[in-house]
């Protein structure tokens, strides 16, 4: 390998070791060597130059972007060539750190101390492998997985030392294409003879993707007899057991996986899903916090992850029977809202985020948890009016929590509108948000059906002039949506017609009109609701007066 024509970037915050690495590369023949002390500086450098070799220390300072966070960002933002090799160097051999690094797929991971010969051997080996697989990496970098698959199949026709690496890439590409059968066919041959760990795990995962959890569990149990510290194996075991509704087994497996390798965003998203499926809202809150902490210095930084953490705290409060736990998690959510004002990461990434609007949404959620549905309605209505004024269509970051409150208070029509927005922008929502929306749709299904049935019945009876029966139907609809504006206006209209027919206002009907007036008056209303209320207002005042 000729180092003389290679551009090299070294990222190391300890100057003595940085100088040592540069000296070693110079001794190998490299003359174009750039050195940087931080990930941020190296990102700026990669915008200007396309390097062939990057050597990066794992730890680059307290509260600074580390080596595996850097490799993710450089690849995601396409700041390095598909031919570039990235090697992580570290003195830290702790299992969680090593696994967290390897899960980002560097070209190699080198533990300090090492010799000049070891470094050169690792660089040459990584370089030769990547050059052979370059056609595949180029197609993947362009998100052209069909071309990547073709490139893999072509390379597999050429005898080489990299057949296993090529097949592993081909399996991952098939997963991306949701073309699972070819992956399964390719991996089955690895079931014969001496098992290879990556192939066994890939085979189990393919069975999982094909909704065959029993087969996946059988393979993974074999893997774990020899490799009990494989976090990937425990991930698959957790998901397969969750698919089979074996909740305790799924929870135990994902907890083990997190303990082994806690620095994976995807693992914590899996944990959130499994935890919520099995009502372990404390685990979901812990993983939601991990998602926020792991993402805020990375290319995955997103205000939605912070919102997801606050939502997870409120989920604990909502689903516990113990008052002290409920209060503790509600208070923690409120404290997190306060801390946000001083969180430099959040302030940097949330330049277009309106904290006042979000605070109203969270206050609505808190009121709904406490059973204060009218207060919840006022807060959520205020937030939605502000969103319409400032943004027009609701931003994705406000959508999940707004929709959750709409379902909680029975504003099904507005929830439906928000669902339609969510269907247009699934790419803008993280897995936790998508899970919440789907779960709320399912849990509200029965209540929504009853509400729609009685409201429709009431409208038909009202149109037939059967106002007393219509009143009863609207009253039943209100039982399923006690603060719903639409059904409240329907009931009010019906009550006024009944009052009109009587010679003398019936006190119970007047009391009911006052209740609905309290529910609707001074509330920000949708245009069609406001027009209907305005049309009824003067007549309503003749019965309830000022009280």
The verdict on 286 and 412 lying in the same domain is: yes
3-state secondary structure (DSSP) of residue 152: helix
Has residue 254 been placed in a domain? no
Q: Which residues contact 458 (CB under 8 A, 6 or more apart)?
A: 470, 471, 473, 474, 477, 487, 490, 491, 494
Q: Return the DSSP state at 394.
A: P
The verdict on 290 and 400 lying in the same domain is: yes
Has residue 319 been placed in a domain? yes
Whether 474 and 487 have beta carbons less than 8 Å apart is answered as yes
Which of these three, 91, 107, 132, is where a domain ends?
132
What DSSP string runs through 215-229? HHHHHHHHHHHH-TT
The verdict on 456 and 432 lying in the same domain is: no
Task: State how far the Cα of 207 lies from the Cα of 212, in Å rounded to an integer.
Answer: 5
Which of these three, 105, 132, 159, is where a domain ends?
132
Residue whose structure tokens are 């620095």: 263
The verdict on 277 and 418 lying in the same domain is: yes
Whether 467 and 498 have beta carbons less than 8 Å apart is answered as yes
Task: State how far the Cα of 417 lies from the Cα of 387, in Å rounded to an integer.
Answer: 14
What DSSP string runs through 248-298? HHHHHHHHHHHHH----HHHHHHHHHHHHHTT-HHHHHHHHHHHHHHHTTS
Whether 378 and 417 have beta carbons less than 8 Å apart is answered as no
pLDDT in tens, the chain (547 residues): 899 999 999 999 999 999 999 999 999 999 999 999 999 999 999 999 999 999 999 999 888 899 999 999 999 999 999 999 999 999 988 889 889 889 999 999 999 999 999 999 999 999 999 999 999 999 999 999 999 999 999 999 988 999 999 999 999 999 999 999 999 999 988 766 567 999 999 999 999 999 999 999 999 999 999 999 999 999 999 999 999 999 999 999 999 999 999 999 999 999 999 999 999 999 999 999 999 999 988 999 999 999 999 999 999 999 999 999 999 999 999 999 999 888 888 888 877 789 999 999 999 999 999 999 999 999 999 999 999 999 988 999 999 999 999 999 999 999 999 999 999 999 999 999 999 999 999 999 999 999 999 999 999 999 999 999 999 999 999 999 999 999 999 999 999 999 998 878 889 999 999 999 998 988 888 889 999 999 999 999 999 885 4
The verdict on 398 and 517 lying in the same domain is: no
Task: State how far the Cα of 345 lies from the Cα of 547, in Å rounded to an integer.
Answer: 50
- Kindly report the CATH number assigned to the domain that includes residue 365: 1.25.40
Give residue 352's pLDDT. 76
Give residue 496's pLDDT. 94
Whether 15 and 9 have beta carbons less than 8 Å apart is answered as no
Has residue 145 been placed in a domain? no
Has residue 189 been placed in a domain? no
The verdict on 517 and 412 lying in the same domain is: no
Whether 357 and 385 have beta carbons less than 8 Å apart is answered as no
The verdict on 458 and 424 lying in the same domain is: no
Has residue 128 been placed in a domain? yes
Rg of the chain taking only CA atoms, in angstroms: 30
**Bridge-based pairing state of the strands 32-36 and 53-57:** unpaired
The verdict on 330 and 462 lying in the same domain is: no
Has residue 157 been placed in a domain? no
Give residue 468's pLDDT. 94
- Kindly report the CATH number assigned to the domain that includes residue 467: 1.25.40.10
- The residue segments making up the domain with residue 432 are 273-443
Instruction: Compute CA distances 193 → 51, 128, 190, 196, whole Å.
Output: 41, 28, 7, 9
The verdict on 424 and 299 lying in the same domain is: yes
Count helices and strands (H / E) in the chain: 28, 5
Q: How far is CA 385 from the centre of its chain?
A: 26
Task: Indicate the number of domains in the chain.
Answer: 3
Which of these three, 426, 443, 460, is where a domain ends?
443
| Nearest partner of 382 among 366, 408, 360, 401, judged by Cα | 360
- Kindly report the CATH number assigned to the domain that includes residue 79: 3.40.50.2300
The verdict on 528 and 384 lying in the same domain is: no
Instruction: Compute CA distances 91 → 57, 109, 120, whole Å.
Output: 9, 11, 18
Give residue 192's pLDDT. 64
pTM, 2 dp: 0.90
Has residue 205 been placed in a domain? no
The verdict on 495 and 470 lying in the same domain is: yes
The verdict on 290 and 430 lying in the same domain is: yes
Give residue 547's pLDDT. 46
Q: Which residues contact 238 (CB under 8 A, 6 or more apart)?
A: 250, 251, 253, 254, 257, 270, 271, 274
- Tell which phi-psi region holds residue 545, choosing left (phi > 0), alpha (psi between -120 and 50) or beta: left
Task: State how far the Cα of 66 lies from the Cα of 155, in Å rounded to an integer.
Answer: 34
Burial class of residue 165 in the structure, from the number of CB atoms within 10 Å of its CB (0-12 exposed, 13-18 middle, 19+ buried): middle
Has residue 195 been placed in a domain? no
Query: At how many degrees (to 10) do helices 303-318 and 431-443 cross?
Result: 40
């Amino acid at each position: 390998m000729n180092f003389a024509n290679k551009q090299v970037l070294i990222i190391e915050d300890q100057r003595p070791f940085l100088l040592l690495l540069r000296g070693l590369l110079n001794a190998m023949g490299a003359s174009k060597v750039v050195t940087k002390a931080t990930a941020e500086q190296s990102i700026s450098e990669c915008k200007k130059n396309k390097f062939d070799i990057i050597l990066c220390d794992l730890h680059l300072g307290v509260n600074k972007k580390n080596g595996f966070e850097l490799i993710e960002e450089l690849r995601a933002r396409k700041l390095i060539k598909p031919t570039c090799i990235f090697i992580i160097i570290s003195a830290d051999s702790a299992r969680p750190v090593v696994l967290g690094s390897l899960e980002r797929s560097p070209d190699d991971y080198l533990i300090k101390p090492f010799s000049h010969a070891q470094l050169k051997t690792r660089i040459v080996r990584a370089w030769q492998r990547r050059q052979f697989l370059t056609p595949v990496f180029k197609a993947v970098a362009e998100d052209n997985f069909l071309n990547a698959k073709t490139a893999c199949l072509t390379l597999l026709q050429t005898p080489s030392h990299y057949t296993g690496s090529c097949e592993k890439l081909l399996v991952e590409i098939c997963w991306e294409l949701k073309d699972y059968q070819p992956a399964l066919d390719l991996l089955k041959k690895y079931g014969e003879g001496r098992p290879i760990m990556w192939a066994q795990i890939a085979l189990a995962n393919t069975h999982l993707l094909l909704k065959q959890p029993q087969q996946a569990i059988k393979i993974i149990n074999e893997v774990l007899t020899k490799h009990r510290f494989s976090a990937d194996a425990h991930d698959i075991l957790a998901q397969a057991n969750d698919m089979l509704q074996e909740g305790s087994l799924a929870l135990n497996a994902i907890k083990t996986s997190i303990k082994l390798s806690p620095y994976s965003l995807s693992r914590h998203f899996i944990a959130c899903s499994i935890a919520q499926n099995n009502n372990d809202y404390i685990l979901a809150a812990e993983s939601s916090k991990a998602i926020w902490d792991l993402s805020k210095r990375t290319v995955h930084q997103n205000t939605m992850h912070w919102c997801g953490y606050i939502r997870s705290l409120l989920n604990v409060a909502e689903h516990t029977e113990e008052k002290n736990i409920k209060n503790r998690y509600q208070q923690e959510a409120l404290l997190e809202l306060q801390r946000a004002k001083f969180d430099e990461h959040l302030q940097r990434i949330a330049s277009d985020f309106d904290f006042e609007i979000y605070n109203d949404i969270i206050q609505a959620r808190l009121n709904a948890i406490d059973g204060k549905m009218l207060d919840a309605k006022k807060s959520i209505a205020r937030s939605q009016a502000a969103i319409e004024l400032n943004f027009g269509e609701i931003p994705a970051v406000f959508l999940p929590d707004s929709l959750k409150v709409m379902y909680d208070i029975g504003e099904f029509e507005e929830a439906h509108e928000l669902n339609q927005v969510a269907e247009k922008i699934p790419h803008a929502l993280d897995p936790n948000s998508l899970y919440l929306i789907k779960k709320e749709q399912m849990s509200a299904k029965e209540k929504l059906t009853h509400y729609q049935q009685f409201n429709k019945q009431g409208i038909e009876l009202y149109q037939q002039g059967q106002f007393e029966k219509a009143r009863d139907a609207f009253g039943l609809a209100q039982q399923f949506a006690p603060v719903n504006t639409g059904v409240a206006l329907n009931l009010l209209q019906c009550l006024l017609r009944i009052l009109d027919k009587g010679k003398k206002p019936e006190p119970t009907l007047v009391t009911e009109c006052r209740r609905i007036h309290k529910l609707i008056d001074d509330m920000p209303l949708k245009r069609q609701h406001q027009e209907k209320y305005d049309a009824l207002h003067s007549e309503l005042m003749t019965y309830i007066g000022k009280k």
